[in-house]
Amino acid sequence: MSLLERRVVPANLPWGIDARSPLGRPVTVSGSATRGTVNGQPVVLAGTNNYLGLTYEPRCIEAAVEALRRLGTGTTGSRMANGTYAEHLLLEQELADFYGLPHALTFTTGYQANLGMIAALGGSDGILMLDAECHASIYDGARLAGCELYRFKHNDPADLEKRLRRLGARATDTLVVLEGIYSMRGDQPPLAELCAVARAAGACLLVDEAHSFGVLGGRGRGAVELFDVEDQVDFVTGTFSKSLGATGGFCVSRHDLRYVVPLARPYIFSASLTPAVVASTRAALGIVAAEPELRARLWDNTRRVHAACTALGLLRTPCESPIVAVALAEPEHALDIWHGLIGEGLYVNLIAPPAAPGNYLLLRCSLSAAHTDADVDDIVRAFGWLAARYGASVLHL
């Protein structure tokens, strides 16, 4: 085995890098947020995180096309060089206004938003306290910061309180990081309780709303709005690549984020968002603010699929998000099941460790407001095939 193979292929990967592997499997879409093809097989797309279905929204497309013609294909520079256009500042102001906060920063990806903010806020002499199931970008931000890193048990306020208490006076130098919806299992944190623990200890709090922005809350402001803790959270990060149907990331805060800029390496050293992406994101943000019926449609689809999967014996825990995750106890069947679902006309994500928590594999389905009743029928039918043929392989988390 070559050095490259030894470095790249994880020892615990349950499949190889070959024609059957889901790694980099091309998904073809053409004019639809919810229908495409995989290996020439027509499928319902239920693994895209396209929660509000805005990737083919005409208003977003037209805004992007206009910006492309007027401002070109790219900025060719970082925000610290020539990469700040008037449109970047408008997007940041609109994000701040959406949250009712004074400050916002945008990044080229949501990954970079977490990487830059956490590295800057943690610092080499700070402390980060992360939920054990936080996203890789959050852990990588901790590594970039080079600060002390501690984990508390997933969604466990008592364990967070215990670990902050052990820090004593140093708890006030601690940044606690949570997520509004956890991306793999789709569960939500007991956010009010976790906020109370962090505030009592004097710690700062950052909530990553990547999967909850546009999904939770009356206005789509995420878990911080749903749990009525907006005034208790110091920083909110998120991405444009889910509900907003684009790419990019952001942070909003009541604190002056200009102090973050010199310390946020992804902000300083990455080319800025392209004009077309900025324009489509601004259009999508306006739609999220003005059209709550998209969230209502998303939750109708979510409840329907969850109820069906529960009745089929695939789920036993309450579904609290549009992410429906089915865990598999037998990794050797995972590829067959995944390919079988594609054959049944359904594309979902097949997730293995380390992306999936624990030592199991996940069939991860993400619902969209753009899924029609017929799409949902097909999703339920494919899960029925899974339950009938492989129900004994399903774990109940």
Query: Catalytic amino acids?
Result: 183, 211, 242
- Look up residue 98 and give its amino acid: F
Tokens coding 360:
């199991």
Nearest in space to 209 (alpha carbons), one of 245, 174, 181: 181
CB-based contacts of 188: which residues, under 8 Å, 6+ apart?
180, 181, 182, 212, 216, 223, 320, 321
Q: Do residues 208 and 134 touch, judged by C-beta distance below 8 A?
A: yes
- Sheet order of strands, 35-38 included: 28-29, 35-38, 41-45, 346-347
Residue 231: CB atoms within 10 A of its CB come to 8
Cα 136 to Cα 253, 272, 362: the distances in Å are: 22, 22, 17
Distance CA 191, CA 149 (A): 21
Q: Do residues 54 and 213 touch, judged by C-beta distance below 8 A?
A: no
CB-based contacts of 223: which residues, under 8 Å, 6+ apart?
180, 181, 188, 189, 191, 207, 209, 212, 216, 217
What 8-state DSSP symbol labels residue 364?
E
384 alpha carbon, distance to own chain's centre:
27
Based on its alpha-carbon atoms, the radius of gyration of the chain, rounded to whole angstroms, reads 21
Provide the phi-psi class of 381: left if phi over 0, else alpha when psi is between -120 and 50, else beta: alpha
Tokens coding 376:
């949902």
By residue count, the chain amounts to 397
Tokens coding 209:
């709303």
Tokens coding 244:
């907003």
